[in-house]
Structure formats: C-alpha cells, structure tokens
Structure 1
Amino acid sequence: MCSFSPSGASVRETGASLATHQRSLGDPSLTYPLSPPLTRGCPRTSTDDLAYPLEVGYDHERLDPRLFEQEPGPDIARWAPLLPPLHAPTLGEGGTPLLDLGDGLHLKDESRNPTWSHKDRLNRVTVSAALAEGAPGVVVASSGNHGASAAAYAARAGLRAVVLTSAGSPPAVQDFARAYGATVLSVPVEERWPLLREIVDRLGYHPVSNQTVTHTGHPYGPEGYKTIAYELFLQLGRVPAAVFSPTGYAELLYGVWKGFTELRLLGLTRDVPRMFACEPAAGGPHARALAAGAPAAIVELGPTQAYGIAGPVGGHRGVRAVRDSGGEAVLVTDDEMRAAQRRLARLGVWQELSGAAGLAGYRKLARAFDGPVVCVATSSGFKDVGVGTRSYPARAGLTARDVAALLEQDA
C-alpha cells in the first residue's frame, strides 16, 4: 500500500513507529517512557554544569526488512518505523540529491529541502511531538534556519510559532519566518533562553530548541537526521568512509551517525563512517571537549560570519559521534569557509557560509580515505549575512569588447 506526499512521490508504508522509549546518553541503562519528550535533558544524570541529552530507542526486531528496498525520496514518513510517531503533515522534506564532485567526493545538498535547509527533517519530528502533546504552538530560539523551518512546519500543522531571534540575524531570514505567520521577536542573547523557558512553562508551548546549560535540545530532533544516513546508504550503494558535517550544536552530526549505527545493528552493513565535526575556528566547543576528554564544553565565541553554526555551547551528542566513530573535530576559519563556498558556487551549488563548513573541513584536512567521502551542505546561500543589501547600478555604453574583458577578468 502506498500513500502520496504533496510532491507526488510514492511513499511505501512499512508500518507504524517502532519507537518505544527515551534513553539517557549520560547513562544508557537509564530509560524513560517515550512521552512526554524530556526537553531539559536527562533528569538523573544532568547537573548544574552539564546536561546530558536523551535519544529514542526502538524495537528493531519488529522492523519490516523491506524498509530499505525503496528508493530515497521526499517525505521522511517512508522511514516511519525508525522515527518517533509522525503526526505533523509533510512538506516534502528529505530525498535530497547526492552530487558527485569527482575523485570520490560527494555533496549531500540539504538546501533542497522545503525551507532550504536540513532543519526541515528535525522539525517534521519535533512539531509532530508538539501535536502529540496537545501544545498550542512551538517556541524556538534561533537566528536562522531553525526558526524559519519550525515556523513552516507549525503552520502546516495548524499550530502557532514563536521565534526568538537576535537583532543581528539577517532581515531576510526574519521575514522568512514571519511569512509563515510566526511571532518573531528580536531579543538580547542573554534573555532568549530564559524567555523561551517562561513561554514553555507559562503558555504551554512546546520547545523545539535547547533549554539547558550544555546542549541537549529536543530528544526527538536528531532522529529526523538519521534519514540522511539511510538515503546516503541507498544513494551510494554502501556506507561512506567519512562524513564531514557543519557543526553547531551537533544534532545533525549525531543524527547521521546514529542512522549509520542502526544500519549496522540491522545487519545491513558491517562498516560505519568516521564523523568529522566542522566548527568555526572562532569557537569550537566540540573540539575543546574532545581535546580535554570532557563530555561537553563551553567556550568563548569570537567574531565569525558563520552565524548558523556559531555558538559557545557544545553538547555531548557531538562528542559521542566523533569519539565513537574515530573521527575528529576540524576548526575552519571564515576565509576557509568562503573559499569552499566559492568552490561550490562554481559547481552550481550556492550555500550560506555555514553550509560550506563541511567542504572547508574536508579541504583543510586534506586526507585520503579508503572509500567515498560525503560533505553535508546544509543551507541555501540566500540566507547568508548581507545577501540582497548591495545594489548594482546600470552601466551604459558597454560593448562586446568590454564584456570580453570582464569575462577574462572573472576567469
């Protein structure tokens, strides 16, 4: 039996969610009921200085083996047995292209999602949780992709959305979220998370972003990112040797890693990729934690234009994914990200600066791998700082010779 997504792509129904519980990453022996989602971290292992996130556990023995016989395509409901229950309607997220850049290097272009970023996979899952919990709406602290995506999925589900952003976020991105009917408020950074918690506690809104001292986020969120691993497995016909991912809070990094570990658990592969967390050199909390052997870290953040992944707060998920996979954290400068961004644009893919961090990390490491390498590119260049603010006055009297000279200059 098949259902159909808004894009018209057929989605095989392979059963309902097999999610059974939440499990602490601070102590995997500690489990909790699947509902309600514990959005403030594990209550038994977290402290005032360190919060441990939770993940979702599944009854893998009941999985229909035909699940991985399908072609990757839009609507992550095709992976429903390995996701928390999906109550929110789809906008056609997932099924993004894998571009062959040559010499064994591939680009997973997540800017092809409905709101032009990877966050759509997460918000299909977290907005579903909001519906399941009977919340009147969702609230998110975000200066970019997360806020716009949450607003879109909330609108599609008939929920209100409150987006707490910073005055320095790109005006076009704020307009993006407002277009979906969200209430968008510019709030000083130090006030954003206290206000978010107050909205959760007093107004009953469901939080789809972090509330804790080190990052925990929503326990269901990274489950949506597992679908990238499933798609890569089918698109490549194997598991990649390495994955380079732009990394802020590392939900994406961890979700992709967990997806590959599930493929191994299910007996579909014996291999898993090495995961590389590509962070702005202006911060790098996961690099700091890994170097110190700590479960998570908070650092001082310097200036960077990569606002989508810039933050002083790390979390345990990213540390686990890098450490357990034998990967590394790679610190990339804005100049290195700009060079990668220009390279992708010359290949026909326009990414915001943060979205090019994966390729920047791969180029910086300059290491050979025994198998294909995937760089995840997360978000459209339309969301970059300063886009649309420049003007280009008309130039009268140009000749073909003038154009030829300009072409030579740009070559």
Structure 2
Amino acid sequence: MNGPSLALRQRSLGDPSAEFPLFPPLTRGCPATSTDSLAYPLEITYDYAKVDRRLFAQEPGPDLARWSPLLPPLEAPTLGEGGTPLVEFGEVYVKDESRNPTWSHKDRLNRVAISAAVACGAPGVVVASSGNHGASAAAYAARAGLRAIVLASADSPLAVQAFVRAYGAKVVSVPVEARWPLLREVVDRLGYHPVSNQTVTHTGHPFGPEGYKTIAYELFLQLGEVPAAVFTPTGYAELLYGVWKGFVELRLLGLADRMPRMFSCETAAGGPHARALATGVPAAIVELGPTDAYGIAGTVGGHRGVVAVRDSGGEAVLVTDDELRRAQRDLARQGMWQELSGAAGVAGYRRLRRDFDGPVVCVATSSGFKDAGVGSERYPVVENPSLESLTA
C-alpha cells in the first residue's frame, strides 16, 4: 500500500506552468521566475491518480515512510519522526511536535531534505541555523552517514550548539550576515548539499516542506475530520505551507470536503509574512526588533506563507513576547513545555479570539529545552528542609 514515491517533478510557486525535473533539487529558487529582489520557491508534484486511498486507512505513527507515495524518495533512514500526539488544551487541540526525535517539527523536513542529499550523492550537508533546524539536520545526516556543517549565529544558545555538536557536526558560530554567503561557498566549492536558504527572499529546500504535509495527514486521521483552523508558529513559513498543502491533497484525493483556514503566527518584532499579506506583495523583508523568540525571528519572508494564508482565507497574526510567555507557561502547566517560539500557535489563537465552526489546532513546534538561557539559572538550597518549608 505504501509503495514507492509518486513524485514527478518540481514546479514553481511563482508560475505553476514552470516545471523542472525532480532531480537535482533546485535549492536556489525557481530559475524561470526569480529576480534579484524576489525568489520564488518550488514545490513537488505527484501522480495523484495512482495514489491508493487505503493509504489513509492506517493509524498515524512514527516514520514518514508510511506516506512514501506522497513524498519525494526517502533515501535517508528514519529516526522515528512523526506520529506526534494531539492533545486537548481547553477549547483547542495542540499538535505537540516537540515529541519528535530531536524535539522539534524540523525532523519531518530533514527526513526528506537529507534524503535528497543522499540521492544526489553529496559528501555532506550544510545548514545555516541557530537552533532546531541545525540540530535536526545534524542528526539525520549522522544517521545517513553524511558529514554536516552547521553555521550558527554567534548569539545562539550554547546548549543548542552543544546539542548539535553531539551528533558529530562541525558547528561554526559566525555573524548572522556572514552565514548565507559562507553557506553558498561551502555548496559551490565543497559540493555539500544545502538544506537551508540561499536566496534573497526565502525559498529553502524544495523537498523539505513536503515532510510537513504529514502533519495534515495525521490531523485528519486523529480528528476524524478536517479542522476548521490551524495556527502555526511561523518563521520562514515552510511548516505553514506544508500543512496547507497536505490538506489540499486530501481534498484533491476526494477524502476531504473542506479546507482549514491557515493562520501564520509571527513575532511582532518582525513579521515579514504579515507585511507581505498586508501590502499585497509576494514576499517581504522587514527590520527585526528585539525578541526572545529566536526560532521565529527573521527579517526575510517567502512566498509559501503568502500562498497558504491567502488561499485558505486565513490571516497573519502578530504576537508579543509577553503573549508568547503566557502561552508557554500555560502549556507547561498542562504538561507541554514548549520553546518560546513553539508557543506562537496558541498565542496567536488567543490574540485573535475568533469562533470557528469546527475543531481548532495549534501546532506547538519545539521543546522548552531549546530556549536561550535554559539551565543557566541557579536556585537556592534549603539547608534544613522540613515539611513546613515545603508547604510555606
């Protein structure tokens, strides 16, 4: 039933008539539609007529290979990604992606992107990341027997840098503005496969976001229906777009009769997707103010987020650090400790305060262990503990 990949080719989001062979992955955006000031991402098309609908009769569980017909070829071995729980949280559901192998949603992307590196015969992978993406890429590269170079920003959390190094990756802390030029040099001179962005507006790896479609598949099976709305933490919007595309495919296959509204939840310190949607442009670049939500803090947006929000009838929501902290605290008190950025879906839903005709899902993306400063605080020792001191 699962069978081989039914992926056919790459297609531009700037012009759907612009199509390219499936390999090699076009990691610098669409060559036919991109300009010096705007780069369009690519997506993967499939032979949907050959998809066996019994694919969606299975229980959701770990290993994305269960969805292999609707993914690019999976050449990298699994670490057991996917199959994450859907937890009731007040009036919404939380899809807890912190339960993945490296404790974030990025494992779904990297199972697919690292597979592309294996298929291309690359000697290694290179990624510019200050957190989840770097750790996940390093883990999947190690599992696949590939070398990994991670270009981290100089102010990324030390605990996260140690996490990445544990997988054997070469981690180099560099100024933020130096990461992408150095990444391109590693690609051009060493032949490493890039699994992060290289373009002026975000395009990233064309295969990677396909892994996020599996969140939509799982939600459909876990809920027994399509949710009315999905709120996702949004940095470069690969997650947002991937979840949206998964629901598009469910309708295309005749399994779903409606679509959810998609809500991008960005830090109010930046918000390039909110800017693009508000001004009607394909993608935007903004200045970034101070924020502790480093996982979704960026100046550069991409066209994927615009497509998902616009075509679904959703909205862009900007949330403050204080709103993120309240959502993070409340999630933790229900047993789900999330990174500050990972709580953006819940914070976005609370800010919007909208009634929906059906279930609402907030995606929570990453473990609270990933936050800056975690583990650095010291707590006093009670020298003469007693029951009274415990209950005071």
1:61 to 46, 49, 52: 49
Which residue in 1 is equivalent to 2:384?
397
Give secondary structure in 2 for the equivalent of 1:196.
helix
Paired residue secondary structure (1:329): strand
| Cα offset, 1:393, TM superposition | 2.8
Q: 2:76 is matched with which residue?
A: 88
Q: Which residue type is aligned with residue 155 of structure 2?
A: G
Q: Is the 8 A contact 2:93 2:362 kept in 1?
A: yes
Residues 172-208 of structure 1 show CA distances to partners (whole Å, capped at 9, x for unaligned) of 1000110000000001111100000000000000000
1:130 paired residue number: 117
Q: Look up the equivalent residue of 2:269 and give its one-letter code.
A: A
Q: Among 3, 8, 13, which residue is 1:25 paired with?
A: 13
- 1:88-107 aligned at under 5 Å gives the runs 88-103=76-91, 105-107=92-94
Select 2:38's aligned residue among 30, 42, 50.
Answer: 50
Structure 1: give runs of 5+ residues left out of the alignment.
Answer: 1-12, 406-411
Deviations 1:267-302 (A, max 9, x none): 001111000000000000000000000000000000
Q: CA deviation at 1:94?
A: 0.1
Q: Quick one: which amino acid aligns to residue 355 of structure 1?
A: G
Is 1:286 aligned to 2:273, yes or no?
Answer: yes
Among 60, 76, 86, the alignment partner of 1:72 is: 60
AA paired with 1:309? I
Q: Which amino acid aligns with 2:250?
A: L
CA distance in 1, matches of 2:43, 2:269: 29
What is the DSSP-based 3-state SS (H/G/I as helix, E as strand, rest coil) of the residue aligned with 1:84? coil
Matches within 5 A, 1:210-225: 210-225=197-212
Residue 319 (structure 1) aligned to one of 297, 306, 309: 306
Q: Aligned match of 1:117 in 82, 104, 111? A: 104
- Aligned residue for 2:186? 199
How far apart, CA to CA, are the structure 2 residues paired with 1:398 and 1:151?
44
Q: Does 1:165 align with 2:165?
A: no
In the other structure, the counterpart of 1:3 is: none
Cα deviation digits, residues 221-258 of structure 1 (max 9, x gap): 11000000000000000000000000000000000000
3-state SS, counterpart of residue 308 of structure 1: helix
Corresponding residue for residue 337 of structure 1? 324
Q: 1:386 aligns with which of 367, 373, 382?
A: 373
- 1:357 and 2:348 correspond: no
Bigger Cα displacement from structure 2, 94-103 vs 205-214? 94-103
| C-alpha distance in structure 1 between counterparts of 2:318 and 2:124, whole Å | 37
CA distance in 2, matches of 1:206, 1:349: 34
Identity within the alignment, %: 79
SS of aligned partner of 2:254: coil
The amino acid across from 1:287 in the alignment is: A
Q: Partner of 1:386: helix, strand, or coil?
A: coil
Aligned counterpart, 1:370: 357
- Distance, in Å, in 2 between the alignment partners of 1:15 and 1:65 is 12
Asked if the contact 2:229/2:260 (under 8 Å) is kept, the reply is: yes
Moved >6 Å (runs of 4+): none
Matches within 5 A, 1:128-277: 128-277=115-264
RMSD: 0.7
* Mapped partners of 1:335, 1:143: distance in 2: 22
CA shift, 1:400, in A, is 2.2
Q: Residue type of the partner of 2:377?
A: R
AA paired with 1:166?
Answer: S
Aligned-residue offset at 1:402: 2.8
The two structures have a TM-score, normalised by structure 2, of 0.99
CA shift digits 1:117-163 (9 cap, x unpaired):
00000000000000010000000000000000000000000000000
Which AA in structure 2 matches 1:80? S
Counterpart secondary structure, 1:234:
helix
Could you tell me how far apart the structure 1 residues matched to 2:37 and 2:90 are?
45
Partners in 2 of 1:273 and 1:54 — Cα distance?
22
Name structure 2 gaps, 5 residues minimum: none
Aligned-residue offset at 1:371: 0.4
- Worse overlay, 65-74 or 387-396: 387-396
Task: Give the CA deviation at 1:377.
Answer: 0.2
Whether the 8 Å contact between 2:2 and 2:65 is mirrored in structure 1 is no
Instruction: Count residues in correspondence.
Output: 392
Distance 2:213 2:23 in 1: 20
Give distance in 1, aligned partners of 2:181 and 2:7: 31
Q: Structure 1 counterpart of 2:299, which letter?
A: P
Letter aligned with residue 52 of structure 2:
D
- Cα distance, 1:101 vs structure 2: 1.5
| CA displacement at 1:20 relative to structure 2 | 0.3
